[in-house]
């Protein structure tokens, strides 16, 4: 009976795989999608995503750049972009992104109260992601930066399967634990055929605002070793003194 059950399970798995992955469909009006991801939370992924969008705009003002906050449980883009309010609807019942610094943004944070917890099961989260992907009037964008949730779960898999992605930027801090999770994230993207554009090492050093002495509080060059292992570049390193727009965006455009 066990053998028969195993055969039945294998047959179901083969039948499921034979149906293939969902066909990717581009987001209307968007030329390229770049996802910013991390293996764990708290490493500066959202800050990096926002700085990347701002940097792309500053680097070439002819380019139109938008930000999609796909972190449903912990949306950070509204705070980072100094945006509040509810999206208006177009005549086609599409949500209009909120805009600041010339960058249109969409986030679940615009649809719920600031302090309201989002206590949803997976199916509700996936439905929300589908609406954020397909029911937003982005206009014409050269780049859409997607701030992914941390980890390698359903949201990451759904997004990579449903829309074409130009590449992923992996953000980590120098600690061994963070780098281990960053590697898992990079390997996940490779398994779903999304190019890893490179790594960003956040909180690389603390720089004293008085004497400019630099201290490697969390370790040093961890991202460089991981990048060498993965065969990708370290796109940039950021300081812990204060937020600033790093220069790594120049290396992403190809």
How much is the average pLDDT of 45-73? 95
Q: Is 65 or 229 the better-scoring residue by pLDDT?
A: 65
Lookup result for tokens 């634990």: 177
Angle between helices 154-162 and 122-134 (to 10 degrees): 30
Distances (CA, A) of 109 to 82, 99, 170, 239: 12, 14, 23, 27
Q: Highest-confidence range of 123-132, 137-146, 199-208, by mean pLDDT? A: 137-146
Q: Domain ranges for the chain, please list them.
A: 25-251
**For 14-151, where are the E strands, in sequence order?**
30-37, 65-69, 98-100, 103-107, 141-147
**Class of domain 25-251 (CATH, top level):** alpha beta
Lookup result for tokens 């490697």: 216
Would you state the pLDDT for residue 131?
Answer: 94
Q: Is 48 exposed, middle or buried (0-12, 13-18, 19+ CB in 10 A)?
A: buried
Taking the C-alpha atoms of residue 37 and residue 156, their distance in angstroms, rounded to an integer, is 9
Distances (CA, A) of 235 to 21, 52, 89, 167: 31, 11, 38, 13
Q: Is 173 or 214 the better-scoring residue by pLDDT?
A: 173
Q: Is the pTM of this model over 0.85?
A: no
Q: What are phi and psi of 230, to 5 degrees?
A: -85, -15
pLDDT tops 60 at residue 73: yes
Task: Output DSSP code: residue 21.
Answer: S
């Amino acid at each position: 009976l066990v053998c028969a059950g195993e055969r039945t399970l294998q047959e179901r798995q083969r039948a499921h795989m034979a149906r293939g992955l969902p066909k990717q469909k581009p987001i209307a009006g968007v030329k390229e999608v770049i996802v910013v991801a991390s293996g764990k939370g708290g490493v500066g992924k959202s800050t990096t995503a926002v700085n990347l969008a701002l940097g792309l705009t500053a680097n070439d003002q002819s380019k139109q750049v938008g930000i999609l906050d796909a972190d449903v449980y912990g949306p950070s883009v509204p705070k980072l972009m100094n945006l509040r309010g509810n999206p208006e609807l177009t005549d086609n019942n599409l949500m209009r992104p909120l805009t600041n610094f010339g960058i249109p943004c969409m986030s679940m944070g615009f649809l719920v109260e600031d302090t309201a917890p989002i206590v949803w099961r997976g199916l509700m989260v996936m439905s929300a992601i589908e609406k954020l992907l397909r029911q937003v009037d982005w206009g014409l964008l050269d780049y859409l930066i997607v701030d992914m949730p941390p980890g390698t779960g359903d949201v990451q898999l759904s997004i990579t399967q449903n829309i074409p992605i130009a590449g992923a930027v992996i953000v980590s801090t120098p600690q061994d634990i963070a780098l281990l999770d960053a590697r898992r994230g990079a390997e996940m993207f490779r398994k779903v055929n999304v190019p890893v554009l490179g790594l960003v090492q956040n909180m690389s050093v603390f720089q004293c605002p008085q004497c400019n002495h630099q201290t490697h509080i969390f370790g040093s060059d961890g991202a460089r070793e991981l990048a060498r292992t993965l065969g990708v570049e370290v796109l940039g390193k950021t300081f812990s003194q204060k937020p600033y727009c790093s220069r790594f965006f120049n290396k992403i455009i190809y």
